[in-house]
Amino acid sequence: MTQPPPPPPNQPPQGGGFGPPPEQPQQQPEEPQQPVPGEGGPDLAKSPEPGYGYPQTPPAPQGAPATPPNPSAPPTPPSGAPQPGYGYPQTPPAQPGYGYPGQQPAGGYGQPQPGGYGQPQQPGPYGQQPNPYGQPAGPGYGYPHATVPMQPQPGAGGPGGGRKINTQVAIIVSAVVAIALIIGGGIWYAGSSGGKDDDKNTTASSSGGSGGEGEKSGEGGTSAEGGKEKAPSDPGAKVLFQVPAPAVPKDLNSVVVSGSWLTDKVYAKSGIAEITGYDPEKGGKLWTLPLGGPVCAATEHVTDDNKTVVVHQPDMPTKAKRHHGCSEVALVDLDTGKKVWSKQGKTGDQPISFGNVTISGETVAAGSTSGGVAWDLTGKQLWSPKATDTCYDAGYGGGPKLVAVRKCGTYDARELHIQNVDPKTGKVISEYKMAKGIEYAGIVSTDPLVVSADVGDSAGDGSGISDFFSIDNKTGKLRTRISAPGDQYGARCDNITKVEHCTGLAVGNDRLYIATEEHEGSGESYSRTNEIVVFDLATGKQTGQRADAGEGYTITPLRMDGGNVLAYKRPPYDKGGQIVSIDGGSFKQTTLLENPATEAVRDVETSMLPEYAELRYGQGRLYMSQVYASELSAGDEKDYLAVAFGTSG
């Protein structure tokens, strides 16, 4: 998994911005501030077609917040330290010339090699790809500390400092031992789930992509329930509206603005210490909800009556005090823009600083290194850390089920418990104990239950993923383990702080849909491309289905739509991005939306790619937004907080 850049501090588009949207009717609510034509760049509708030549790769964002030091984390290995293959020492293959395809492994793309689990693996089908951004992985999406210089991404080695394993032999031994300890045993607890499954929430990914001209009908496909998103008569889209980037307070380099939600009535987006609801088609402001300080974490889950939850700081950062802790948990009504309630969790007299928050059924749950706290939708506290606890809930995954990542033991002897809990009482229904030594795990999906981890620090690319674990959430037993080498697959999970934030994948139909790494295309234009491949969560094997991005496009899963996969396609230099629906059975691609191909639009679109931005799609409209706001660059270029595209029908 090529390491994506950290979420950018609202990097300005190359070549200028674009102008205001069409005029709004007088009866519309307050409009968002629009760029002035002639100052922010050419109007989108009048933007000239791109000139000859390829665009430059979007610049790697600078100034993103750093992950704070973790005193329990191991030190990082010396630069250039070799990374062992999963569970077995590997001899690094000779590197071919730039972009030259590697050998295709026997058994198909990403299939296990002969010799079974733990044996040496062949290089990916396209060889090890260089990091196109040339930067260390950034902090978790939405992490609040915004003024410390970038530190190396901890990956699975822990934030700050280096790993404790400083030699190749030690790394190999560590990986082998970790694998040997992986077992499929689970613990069964009597009781039943207190929540009703939400069929709408069948994915844990907030980013995605798809594209390409070819359509694949994969072998092994099964009939799947169709989705709600239908193809329009004309997928060609136009810019509906754009929201200018907010002004960052003086003395602050960047501020977190993570969180965006789409309902049938509103598109809501976090700003600097506020959330604003916009008319989803015309962009007029419907409401603005002030917050005490910047957002720290947000969930993408929304209740049936359109409520969601965020964690924010109680006050605005200043030069004297850069951070006030992420202690405020707020339930927000997206229909009205009102704060239903705001709560704090405490250990003794001290407020807890939360790093993760989610919703499952009628329960809001927030996790931290001090433990987890839960409330119902009326604000009644359901549970909180106890003084006698020797373990703590580091974070939760929500949606159809509520799953806790519970940490026990010290770093040197860490044991993670993946617990399916009753959202009303906190009672453990089932539990899976991961191998000792795995420090971090992410919840990819709660139903079916899928967990990501970097076992033995073997991913080697800061993605947080070397393996996926498919777990029976009724019994706690391991169904199967899926190896996902970093040089073959393009997904990424923030297992350290956000727990349920992943990009480059989706889960549904009891399958894992995952983007492959980029590789050289087949044409003569030296373009890059990739695919989406599918793993069966019962067997761990590939189904044979594959969705090709197409020449010059790269494709990333966005979310499930019933039994179909919605994906976003990053475009080549002369095209606009696309949203496609991939049939869960035939794997046939249908284009639902295609953005304009003008240079001004592409500059803005490529500054909000799914690896480090938020994408929401529904009812023929695509919303792309930043997760950081930064000081505007000098000059006439404009930054945008969000941009909306839509088809005519």
Tell me the per-residue pLDDT of 578-635, one tens digit each, with 9 for 90 and over: 999 999 999 999 999 999 999 999 999 999 989 889 999 999 999 999 999 987 643 4
Within a domain: 360: yes
pLDDT score, position 56? 41
Q: What is the pLDDT of residues 51-70, one digit of tens each?
A: 333 344 444 444 344 444 44
pLDDT score, position 145? 36
pLDDT score, position 462? 75
Count of CB atoms situated within 10 Å of the CB of 22:
12
In 472-553, the DSSP E strands lie at 478-483, 492-493, 502-503, 505-508, 511-515, 519-520, 528-529, 531-536, 542-548
- Region for 189 from its dihedrals, namely left if φ exceeds 0, alpha if ψ lies in -120 to 50, beta otherwise: beta
Within a domain: 6: no
Give the C-alpha separation, 422 to 365, whole Å.
12
- The confidence band for 637, taking pLDDT boundaries of 50, 70 and 90, is low
- The confidence band for 2, taking pLDDT boundaries of 50, 70 and 90, is very low
Q: Does pTM top 0.95 for this prediction?
A: no
Residue 303: pLDDT above 80? Answer: yes
Residue 276: pLDDT above 90? Answer: yes
pLDDT score, position 632? 62
Residue 416: pLDDT above 90? Answer: yes
Give the C-alpha separation, 233 to 230, whole Å.
10
- Cβ(351)–Cβ(325) below 8 Å: yes
pLDDT score, position 98? 32
343 versus 2: the higher-pLDDT residue is 343
Count of CB atoms situated within 10 Å of the CB of 161:
18
The total number of structural domains in the chain stands at 1
Percent of the chain with pLDDT over 90: 53
Q: What is the pLDDT of residues 354-403, one digit of tens each?
A: 999 999 999 999 999 999 999 999 999 999 999 889 999 999 999 999 99
Please state, rounded to an integer, the average pLDDT across all residues of the chain.
Answer: 74
Average of per-residue pLDDT across 85-91: 36
Residue 437: pLDDT above 50? Answer: yes
Residue 575: pLDDT above 90? Answer: yes
DSSP codes, 608-628: S-TTSSEEEEETTEEEEE-SE
Provide the β-strand partners of residue 408. Answer: 391, 415
Within a domain: 32: no
Within a domain: 26: no
Provide the β-strand partners of residue 278. Answer: 267, 285
* Domain range for 205: 44-92+110-647
Q: Which of 473, 477, 467, 488 is nearest to 540 (CA)?
A: 467
Candidate ranges 66-80, 375-389, 407-421; pick with highest mean pLDDT: 375-389
- The confidence band for 226, taking pLDDT boundaries of 50, 70 and 90, is confident
Q: Which of 245, 244, 242 is nearest to 267 (CA)?
A: 242
Residue 270: pLDDT above 60? Answer: yes
Give the C-alpha separation, 52 to 548, whole Å.
26
Give the C-alpha separation, 343 to 255, whole Å.
22
105-109, 329-333, 422-426, 465-469: the lowest-pLDDT one: 105-109
Here the CATH number for the domain that contains residue 609 is: 2.130.10.10
534 versus 201: the higher-pLDDT residue is 534
Give the C-alpha separation, 582 to 601, whole Å.
25
pLDDT score, position 532? 98
Residue 246: pLDDT above 90? Answer: yes
Q: What is the pLDDT of residues 98-129, one digit of tens each?
A: 333 333 333 333 343 333 333 333 333 333 33
- The confidence band for 638, taking pLDDT boundaries of 50, 70 and 90, is confident
Percent of the chain with pLDDT over 70: 64
pLDDT score, position 313? 97
Average of per-residue pLDDT across 506-527: 89
16-20, 39-43, 554-558: the lowest-pLDDT one: 39-43
Within a domain: 406: yes
- The confidence band for 463, taking pLDDT boundaries of 50, 70 and 90, is confident
Tokens read off for 182: 């992986």
Q: For the chain, what percentages of helix, strand and coil (3-state, to nearest 5) are there?
A: 5, 30, 65
pLDDT score, position 225? 67
* Burial of 474 per CB tally in 10 Å (0-12, 13-18, 19+): middle
Average of per-residue pLDDT across 200-205: 36
Candidate ranges 24-28, 183-187, 538-542; pick with highest mean pLDDT: 538-542
84 versus 466: the higher-pLDDT residue is 466
Q: Which of 459, 463, 460, 452 is nearest to 5 (CA)?
A: 463
Within a domain: 18: no
337 versus 197: the higher-pLDDT residue is 337
Within a domain: 232: yes
Provide the β-strand partners of residue 236. Answer: 594
Distance of alpha carbon 253 from the chain centroid: 23
